[in-house]
Copies of this chain bind each other. A is one copy, B any other.
Amino acid sequence: MGVKMVGARVKRVEDPRLLRGEGAFVDDIDIPGVLHMAVLRSPHAHARVLSVDVGPARGLRGVVDAFSAADLGPAPAPIPVLFPVETSRDTPQYALARDVVRYVGEGVAVVVAESRHVAEDALELIEVEYEVLDAVVDPVAAIEPGAPALHAAAPDNVGARLVYAVGDVDSAFETADRVVGDRLDMQRYTGIPLETRGVAATRDAVTGELTIWASNQWPHTLRGIVAGMLGMPERSVRVITPDVGGGFGTKAEVYPEDVLVPFAASRLDRPVKWIEDRNEHFLTLVHSREQIHELEFAMTNDGRITGLRARLITDIGAYQRTLAVINSSLAGTSIAGIYDIPNVHVEVICAATNKSPASPYRGAGAPEAAFARERLIDIAARELGIDRADLRRRNLIKPEQMPYDTGMASVEAAVVLDSGDFPAALDEALKMVDYDGFAERQRTARADGRLIGLGICVYHQLSGTGPFEGASVRVDPSGQVTVNSGAAPQGQGTATMLAQIVADELQVDHRSIKVVFGDTGRIGFGVGTFASRNAVMSGTSVLMAATKVREKAMELAAHLLEANVNDLELEEGYVQVKGSPQSKLSLTEIAAAAAPGGSRPPGMEPDLESVQYFENHAAPYSFGIHIAEVEVDRNTGLVEISRYVVVNDAGVIINPMVAEGQIAGGVAQGLGGALMEELVYDAQGQPQSASFMDYIVPGSLDVPEIEVGHLHSPSPLNPLGVKGMGEGGAIGGHSAIANAVADAIEHLGVRVTKTPLKPSVVWELMEAAGQQRP
């Protein structure tokens, strides 16, 4: 074998096209005669809809159609819940509100017009009579007796209740030397892709299919759900996700517009398009992270955590949609982290509020759980007088305990940690940041009147969830290698990664390989890109297909060269008889011979192609250690990150540059969550942060240089030995930075229990401790 591409730090093959502005996003799909949809959205967080009159809108010149829920008839069905649990209550969202609106931004009616501006003008002519109801905004208040109920089926506003238990937690707490606990709150924030959502749909005159272009992370899944909601057979729908400008989980969801656009296109038999504006985006994108953690540890005096008891309240917003309980389930099952805690009891309550529905955002429950756990570990370390790194080390699962079955299973997968040396990773990170010298550095700084802090986060992440992913690999008679994958990446560099895998198998230049994603018309089955699954699921399915192609090429070459297949080797695009380099065939020659009418051994079918599906039944878990050093401005509360170290173990890394890009992006988003981002609602449920004026995301100058150390514990669960790691940065980043800020200021007598730690919040904390101006 020649150069090994898996593991190579090569540039992303996607970038030249994107950097030249040649990307094709949904709004670039220009369908002749397309009509534009606009959605009339509720201005109330909670109200009864007494009447909707679209008649005046229909009268406006240029308007082609206008309708409300009353016009929809029995279809479309509500958005389905993919992972219902026993306790799930029916809180269905329909494509348009029926009798009640439950969040500001919920769709009430639709106008389809010759242009978007006419459609928007027409919205203002629609007459809606509302009876305003009391809104519930705070998730804790929502589940208190007497709170206004959102859904008849959930009069206590509990959408679902999950319990995860291992061991005997009551005994653990009874016999504990110490109990350390607190309430830790994470705020509502979410992924903010550069490209807002968008949907276009048209009936394909040639195939008769309803073709839907969507800025979306799971074309095959979307196809199935939208077809089901519209009461159409799946085969009548083709979903194409062209270039997608960011998703972060928020586009692995089915939204009302995903159904309304194809519904309108079918109703009118004309193409229809809707591109979300940024205001709609803030109002109606799935939000995430908002979770209350009442968490306590049972501990021995020497710092062993013997029990963990938690009650989590997840704010699920107004409706449970596709991935309703995922955040809650992953938070509940990951809250013990990679610590060896024998007794665990977690209750997660999904609380309905009059806010935009919640769904996974990068990390999906893990950032919340990690924040609560890692914050409480620091609090416990302080209370027990044990060094926080040492406390972590004492509790980490040891290499000899691996693989480690936590005894818990989320709705997605059992939590069995498949590989890794956690203490070694922690030690490596501590070494990189010169942890041993930090106490002295901090003392010196304080003596200079400067507030510096260091924060650690130890986390793990689920990756590579099933049930399967598919890929085809084909060498055409011109020698071109084409990969079709069921994945639908949004900027992760997946094409590069898959090309590297295929390059190793077929010994061709990875840059020559064409990788195609996001088209249900090109591969029969697929799942999509979310939950850090591409390397594991797409990577393995591509490896399987490439291996089959390689084997067939070798067999065919043996026939053509009249050689024994065992005497052949594949090198740099040529199959040759070992030791006889004059007797060789290029992959192109072999592919040409494989074409129908070519020269094949008896029984071999034509074409050099294989379609393979990787079906997994156990998910790998990657992990990491993040350490942040920050300095807090005493006068303004502004936090500056001075150092950032990551030790990442995601098994075999296919492309370190791509992996580091994922880490950096994740850390930036964790930083946003720790310090800036918050989706604020007022007491009436009115969003207060529905533009970039009010919702601050980190800019490039806010993000520090990130030092990354890689460890490589191959996963035994797939032939590549890979684990997903795209979400880790967002998990570790939020908590490491929050812990660092706490470390910088808690000696002043404050306690950090919630984020975001905006300057005003930090300033107020110091102010409350009488310390803001020493």
Residues of A in contact with B (beta carbons under 8 Å apart):
17, 22, 24, 28-33, 205-208, 233-235, 240, 242-243, 466-470, 474, 476-478, 480, 482, 514, 516, 519, 521-522, 524-525, 595-597, 605-607, 609, 611-613, 615
Contacts and interface: CB of A to CB of B under 8 A. Distances in A.
A525 B478 contact: no
Contact of A466 (B233, B234, B474, B597): B597
A235 B476 contact: yes
10 contacts: A17-B208, A24-B205, A24-B206, A29-B205, A32-B32, A207-B516, A469-B596, A470-B596, A524-B607, A606-B613
A30 to B, nearest CB: 4
A516 B206 CA distance: 9
Nearest to A236: B480
Contacts of A469: 596
Contact of A615 (B467, B477, B596): B596
A596 B525 contact: yes
Contacts of A474: 524
Given A468-B597, A605-B612, A609-B524, A30 B28 contact: no
Contacts of A478: 233-235
Contact of A605 (B17, B234, B235, B613): B613
From A22, A521, A605, residue with most partner B Cβ within 10 Å: A605
Interface centre among A17, A33, A207, A596 (most CB of B within 10 A): A596
Nearest to A480: B235
Contacts of A468: 596-597, 606
B525 A233 contact: no
A278 to B, nearest CB: 24
Contacts of A206: 24, 29, 240, 242-243, 519
A31 B28 contact: no
Contacts of A482: 235
A275 to B, nearest CB: 16
Contact of A32 (B31, B606, B613): B31
B613 A596 contact: yes
A235 B514 CA distance: 10
A467 B243 CA distance: 39
Nearest to A617: B597
A476 B514 CA distance: 26
A681 to B, nearest CB: 38
Q: Which of A28, A29, A478 has the most CB of B within 10 A?
A: A478
Contacts of A30: 32-33
Contacts of A234: 476-478
A476 B223 CA distance: 13
B205 A28 contact: yes
Nearest to A235: B480
A602 to B, nearest CB: 12
A611 B606 CA distance: 9
Contacts of A205: 22, 24, 28-29, 242
Given A474-B524, A596-B613, 6 more contacts: A29-B205, A235-B476, A468-B596, A470-B606, A521-B522, A606-B615
Contacts of A32: 30-32
A148 B525 CA distance: 63
A597 B467 CA distance: 6
A271 to B, nearest CB: 10
Nearest to A468: B596
B607 A525 contact: yes
B476 A606 contact: no
A615 B242 CA distance: 37
Contacts of A476: 234-235, 524
Instruction: Report the 4 A-B pairs with minimum CB-CB distance, sorted nearest first.
Output: A24-B205, A467-B597, A468-B596, A596-B613
A469 B524 CA distance: 22
A606 B234 CA distance: 18
A612 B524 CA distance: 17
Nearest to A213: B206
A467 B595 CA distance: 11
Nearest to A470: B596
A108 to B, nearest CB: 32
A339 B525 CA distance: 56
Contacts of A207: 516
A522 B521 CA distance: 8
Contacts of A28: 205
A586 to B, nearest CB: 15
A53 to B, nearest CB: 35
B596 A233 contact: no
Nearest to A33: B30
A596 B743 CA distance: 49
Contacts of A467: 596-597
